Amino acid sequence: MDHKKTLSVSGMPIAWFLCVLAVTLTAVYLEVLPDKMMGGFTIALILGVGLNWLGDQVPVLKDYGLGTILAVLLPAILLYLGILPESAGAISKNFFSGYDYTSFLVPSLLVGSILAMDRRVLINAGARFIIPMAGTIILATLLSGLVGMAMGYGLLETMLYIAGPILGSGVSASAVPLSEVYASYSGQTADYFLTTLTSSVMIANILTILSASILSAIGNKNHDFIVKGFAGSGGNDLLRSKGIINITDEQKKELVSDPDSTTFTSLRVGFMLTCGFYAFGQIGAHFVPFLNAYVWMIVPAILFKVMNLCPECICSPSGAWTKFMAKVLTPAALAAISLGVLNLNQIVGLLKDPTYVILCVLCVLITLIVSGVLSYLFGFYFMEGSIMAGLGLADMGGTGDVAVLAAAKRMELLPFLTICSRIGGSINMVWLTFLAARFL
The model's pLDDT over 46-60, given as tens digits with 9 standing for 90+, comes to 999 999 899 888 887
In a domain, 373, yes or no: yes
* pLDDT attached to residue 84: 94
Q: Which of 335, 344, 329, 369 is nearest to 69 (CA)?
A: 335
In a domain, 207, yes or no: yes
Residue scoring higher pLDDT (156 or 70): 156
Across 3-17, 74-88, 295-309, the highest mean pLDDT is recorded for 74-88
Side-chain-facing half-sphere of 126: CA atoms under 13 Å: 20
* pLDDT attached to residue 25: 96
Residue 252 — very low, low, confident or very high, per pLDDT cuts 50/70/90? very low
In a domain, 402, yes or no: yes
- For residues 97-112, give the mean pLDDT: 80
Q: Is the pLDDT of residue 206 over 80?
A: yes
Residue 254 — very low, low, confident or very high, per pLDDT cuts 50/70/90? very low
Domain range spanning residue 137?
Answer: 101-439
In a domain, 16, yes or no: no
Tell me the average pLDDT of the chain: 83
Q: Is the pLDDT of residue 220 over 70?
A: yes
Question: What's the distance, Cα to Cα, between the start and end of the chain in Å?
Answer: 70
Q: How many domains are there within the chain?
A: 1
pLDDT digits (tens, 9 = 90+) for 303-343: 888 888 888 888 888 888 888 887 788 888 888 888 887 77
Residues contacting residue 89 through CB under 8 Å, at least 6 positions apart: 79, 339, 340
Across 112-126, 160-174, 251-265, the highest mean pLDDT is recorded for 160-174
In a domain, 18, yes or no: no
Residue 251 — very low, low, confident or very high, per pLDDT cuts 50/70/90? very low
Considering the entire predicted model, what is its pTM? 0.67
- For residues 281-295, give the mean pLDDT: 82
With pLDDT > 70 as the criterion, what percentage of the chain qualifies?
87
CA distance 5 to 14: 12
Contact present, 134 and 432 (Cβ < 8 Å): no
Q: Is the pLDDT of residue 301 over 90?
A: no
395: left (phi over 0), alpha (psi -120 to 50) or beta: beta
In a domain, 418, yes or no: yes
Q: Which residues of 204-243 are buried (b: 16+ CB within 10 A; e: fewer)?
A: bbbbbbbbbbbbbbbbeeebeeeeebbbbebbbbbbbeee
* pLDDT attached to residue 405: 87
CA distance 84 to 77: 9
In a domain, 320, yes or no: yes
In a domain, 55, yes or no: no
Residue length, the chain? 440
